[in-house]
């Protein structure tokens, strides 16, 4: 639960973060009325209040001025029939306290318990009747409606009241779990920003409505404020809490040209942001929509539970009829009607899936539907892209080897000019290297630039034909590479980019891309979770891929693979009978992600196309989340199967005891509904499963972070 907290404090001056929705004048008046407080100024934009006061007043005293916020509505009961449950409980208590065949001389059916039963169960009676009239088959509501009528006709409304009260309670628990999943994401990502500071002509900062902001605008975000749009930093630096996006609670230091996202909070520093996406287009809105859509997609095991439940309803009626013909005991027949397997199977399964989706979201993993939880639990083969997935995706130029009389500066200048407008990590590394050396890039002809997919780029720069790419590009363009053999020995274990100018080799750029921190531990955890085969697939050359494979002890690797070939490798593994998970982040991974049983995008540099093609989106750069999600999926399926066993065992025992006349219908109803509540509660425990936090980003030693007290 969010609480009022101290944002900043020095002697005589305090800034507080408030969660109240009271009008500004009332808030200010509350604080000004406190002895020793000289002034109180509320900033509705940052939702803080600045107080000047006597130096003897402590922050704790100031926090005590304002009442604590009301509990979060996440756990509030929102079931539409909660009043009916209260009526049922009240009538049940009355009926238990006054167990007589009539009440004040009035017939049994007019007793408070009977009337309350009919009123509270009106929705069940309606749905059960509609199912019989329209679909010509009974459902769970038909069975419950029959049991309620039978209880009332027998003159014992207690059984009907127990059915109504306990079944509604189990539905409420299920709904609370689903709401917790939905509301957790919504509350965590709630924009909460009505106005922003728009930068006018690079000089003036003007307060405007968030609805007046468009892509391309510049906004200023100050310490303690929430960022209101997706964009990139064009001025300043800050430490940003991105836990709402990535699930990582360690603030991230950002500066010029870094991306920031709506819903994240500037913990320290001030920045100017060039807006790229606002409103429903932001990452925040898409995450919320993804979670909501996920809860609408049923897992196969949910459909199995539904079908099994539908088949068991007619069986209950058949057993009740046979039992009546055999025993002529109305009590025993009633036991057949008040005890069923439907509620326990359906509600506990739906609750487990919803809880699992919510728990994963809290860790920065967005599962697009319940069916993928079931598939994740059966994964035995993982294929991982190298660049941006296994590695951090930020290659650096570590060496420039000139050739044929060209200088290092010339090689870099021409290569950077050719790659200047590319978003590929290697291209960005080349341009960044040129910028660090403050080299002036020659002009390139935009009309004569050709991207050769999987190979490199061809361009006309300063009137010269320039090729930048791999050795295959040189072979394709019939460039003489005879003199590269000696140079290849120097850089055989590194990633290399070749540069040719006017049909001559000009030089080679040696690139390095380090393995993502925590990846080796993640590989080991995946093996412990039952992933038998771990394979790396990359477009990089053989020597680079082999070195990574050795470092991580992978089972296999495929190097120099073109984008369209990645999907072929996935198909090949699937055809061999494996359940395949493909992990990538780029546009070139999208076909493979779509072909895999489970497609996963990992990291903050993921592309929109890859996200669309994926079944699981990990918004964090922490690779351990991947193994955590698989562990969660396995625990979810174990929980569901355990719930199946308990539901069938307990209800079968209750049916047997009822059929033998050992227990009365009210006890049978209580046992049945108690079992349902028990398995539903067992499913909710998935929400509170602790994640493995074995990998965290180190805190820069030069920074001190403001940590929330929430």
pLDDT digits (tens, 9 = 90+) for 170-199: 667 767 666 666 555 555 445 556 678 888
Architecture of domain 197-225+229-277: Distorted Sandwich (2.70)
Predicted local confidence at residue 708, as pLDDT: 33
pLDDT higher than 50, residue 102? no
pLDDT range class, residue 488, cuts 50, 70, 90: low
Predicted local confidence at residue 367, as pLDDT: 86
Sequence-separated (6 or more) residues with CB below 8 Å from residue 135:
none
pLDDT higher than 60, residue 627? yes
pLDDT higher than 60, residue 77? no
> Quick one: tokens of 332?
């025993």
Most confident by average pLDDT, 1-5, 114-118, 155-159, 680-684:
680-684
Per-residue pLDDT tens over the stretch 46-62: 567 888 888 888 888 88
Long-range CB contacts for residues 587-594, cutoff 8 Å, separation at least 24:
587/563, 588/454, 588/539, 588/563, 589/385, 589/563, 589/613, 591/563, 591/564, 591/566, 591/567, 592/383, 592/385, 592/537, 592/566, 592/567, 594/567
**Segments of the chain assigned to CATH 3.40.50.1000:** 372-391+516-628
Predicted local confidence at residue 706, as pLDDT: 32
Count Cβ atoms within 10 A of the Cβ of residue 214 and give its class: 0-12 exposed, 13-18 middle, 19 or more buried.
exposed
The secondary element (H helix, E strand) that includes residue 531 is none
pLDDT range class, residue 18, cuts 50, 70, 90: confident
The catalytic site residues sit at: 385
Q: What helix, strand, coil percent values describe the chain, rounded to 5?
A: 50, 20, 30
pLDDT higher than 80, residue 157? no
Average pLDDT rounded to a whole number, residues 357-375: 83
**Segments of the chain assigned to CATH 3.40.1110.10:** 396-512
621/554: higher pLDDT: 554
pLDDT higher than 90, residue 380? yes
pLDDT higher than 90, residue 561? no
Per-residue pLDDT tens over the stretch 302-351: 566 656 666 666 776 777 778 777 877 766 776 666 677 777 777 788 88
Distances, alpha carbon 127 to alpha carbons 131, 174, 575, in Å: 6, 19, 46
218, 221, 227, 229: CA torsion to nearest 10: -10
Q: DSSP class of residue 392?
A: -
Q: How many helices (H) and strands (E) does the chain have?
A: 24, 24
Predicted local confidence at residue 129, as pLDDT: 73
654/525: higher pLDDT: 525
Predicted local confidence at residue 133, as pLDDT: 72
pLDDT higher than 50, residue 700? no
Alpha helices in 203-261 (DSSP H): 243-246
248/70: higher pLDDT: 248
Q: Which CATH number describes the domain made up of 396-512?
A: 3.40.1110.10
CA–CA gap between residue 168 and residue 479 (Å, rounded): 76
Domain 372-391+516-628 fold: Rossmann fold (3.40.50)
3-state secondary structure 121-150: CHHHHHHHHHHHHHHCCCCHHHHHHHHHHH
Residue-averaged pLDDT of the chain: 76
Q: Which residues of 230-264 are buried (b: 16+ CB within 10 A; e: fewer)?
A: bbebeebebbbbbbbbbbbebbbbbeeeeebbbbb
Average pLDDT rounded to a whole number, residues 411-426: 85
Count Cβ atoms within 10 A of the Cβ of residue 296 and give its class: 0-12 exposed, 13-18 middle, 19 or more buried.
exposed
Predicted local confidence at residue 288, as pLDDT: 64
- For the domain made up of 5-70, the CATH class stated in words is alpha beta
pLDDT range class, residue 694, cuts 50, 70, 90: very low
205/5: higher pLDDT: 205
**Segments of the chain assigned to CATH 3.30.70.100:** 5-70
Per-residue pLDDT tens over the stretch 594-607: 888 998 988 776 66
189/644: higher pLDDT: 644
Predicted local confidence at residue 1, as pLDDT: 34
657, 663, 666, 668: CA torsion to nearest 10: -20
Lowest-confidence segment of 138-142, 233-237, 631-635 by average pLDDT: 138-142
């Amino acid at each position: 639960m969010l609480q009022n907290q101290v944002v900043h404090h020095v002697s005589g001056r305090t800034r507080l973060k408030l969660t109240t929705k009271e009008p500004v004048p009332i808030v200010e008046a509350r604080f000004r009325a406190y002895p020793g407080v000289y002034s109180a100024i509320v900033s509705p934009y940052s939702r803080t209040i600045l107080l000047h006061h006597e130096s003897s007043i402590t922050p704790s005293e100031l926090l005590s001025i304002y009442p604590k916020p009301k509990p979060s509505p996440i756990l509030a009961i929102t079931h539409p029939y909660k009043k009916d449950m209260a009526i049922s409980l009240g009538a049940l208590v009355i009926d238990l306290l006054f167990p007589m065949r009539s009440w004040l001389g009035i017939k049994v059916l007019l007793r408070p318990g009977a009337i309350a039963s009919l009123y509270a169960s009106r929705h069940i009676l309606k749905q059960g009747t509609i199912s019989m009239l329209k679909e010509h088959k009974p459902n769970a509501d038909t069975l419950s409606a029959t049991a309620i009528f039978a209880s009332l006709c027998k003159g014992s409304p207690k059984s009907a009241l127990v059915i109504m009260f306990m079944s509604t309670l189990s539905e409420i628990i299920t709904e609370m779990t689903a709401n917790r999943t939905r509301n957790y994401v919504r509350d965590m990502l709630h924009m909460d920003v009505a106005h922003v500071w728009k930068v006018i002509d690079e000089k003036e900062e003007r307060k405007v409505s968030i609805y007046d902001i468009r892509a391309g605008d510049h906004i200023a975000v100050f310490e303690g404020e929430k960022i209101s749009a997706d964009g990139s930093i064009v001025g300043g630096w800050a430490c940003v809490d991105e836990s709402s996006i990535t699930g990582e609670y360690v603030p991230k230091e950002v500066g010029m040209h870094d991306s920031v996202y709506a819903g994240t909070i500037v913990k320290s520093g001030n920045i100017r942001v060039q807006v790229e996406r606002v409103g429903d287009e932001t990452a925040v809105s898409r995450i919320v929509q993804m979670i909501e859509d996920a809860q609408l997609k049923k897992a196969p095991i949910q459909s199995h539970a539904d079908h099994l439940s539908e088949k068991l309803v007619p069986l209950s009626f058949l057993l009740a009829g046979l039992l009546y013909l055999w025993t002529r005991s109305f009590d025993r027949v009633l036991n057949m009607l008040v005890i069923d397997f439907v509620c326990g199977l359906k509600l506990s399964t739906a609750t487990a899936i919803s809880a699992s989706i919510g728990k994963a979201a809290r860790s920065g993993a967005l599962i697009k539907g319940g069916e993928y939880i079931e598939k994740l639990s059966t994964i035995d083969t993982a294929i991982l892209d190298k660049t941006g997935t296994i590695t951090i995706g930020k290659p650096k130029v570590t060496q420039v080897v000139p050739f044929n009389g060209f200088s290092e500066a010339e090689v870099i200048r021409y290569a950077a000019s050719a790659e200047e407008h590319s978003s590929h990590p290697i291209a960005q590394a080349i341009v960044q290297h040129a910028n660090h050396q403050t080299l002036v890039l020659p002009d390139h002809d935009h009309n004569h630039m050709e991207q050769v997919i999987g190979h490199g780029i061809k361009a006309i720069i300063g009137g010269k034909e320039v090729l930048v790419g791999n050795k295959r590009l040189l072979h394709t363009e019939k460039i003489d590479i005879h003199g590269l053999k000696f140079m290849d020995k120097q850089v055989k274990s590194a990633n290399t980019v070749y540069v040719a100018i006017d049909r001559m080799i000009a030089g080679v750029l040696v690139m390095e891309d380090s393995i993502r921190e925590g990846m080796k531990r993640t590989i080991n955890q995946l093996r412990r979770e039952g992933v038998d085969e771990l394979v790396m697939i990359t477009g990089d050359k053989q020597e680079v891929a082999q070195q990574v494979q050795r470092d991580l002890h992978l089972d296999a690797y495929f190097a120099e693979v073109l984008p369209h070939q990645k999907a072929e490798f996935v198909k090949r593994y699937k055809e061999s009978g494996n359940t395949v998970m493909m992990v990538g982040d780029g546009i070139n991974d999208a076909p493979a992600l779509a072909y895999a049983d489970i497609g996963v995008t990992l990291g903050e540099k993921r592309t929109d196309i890859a996200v669309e093609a994926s079944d699981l989106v990990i918004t964090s750069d922490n690779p351990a989340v991947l193994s955590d999600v698989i562990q969660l999926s396995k625990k979810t399926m174990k929980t569901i199967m355990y719930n199946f066993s308990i539901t069938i065992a307990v209800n079968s025992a209750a049916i047997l005891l009822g059929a033998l006349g050992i227990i009365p219908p009210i006890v049978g109803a209580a046992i049945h509904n108690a079992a349902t509540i028990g398995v539903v509660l067992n499913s909710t425990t998935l929400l509170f499963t602790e994640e493995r936090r074995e990998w965290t980003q180190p805190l820069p030693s030069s920074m001190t972070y403001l940590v929330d007290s929430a």
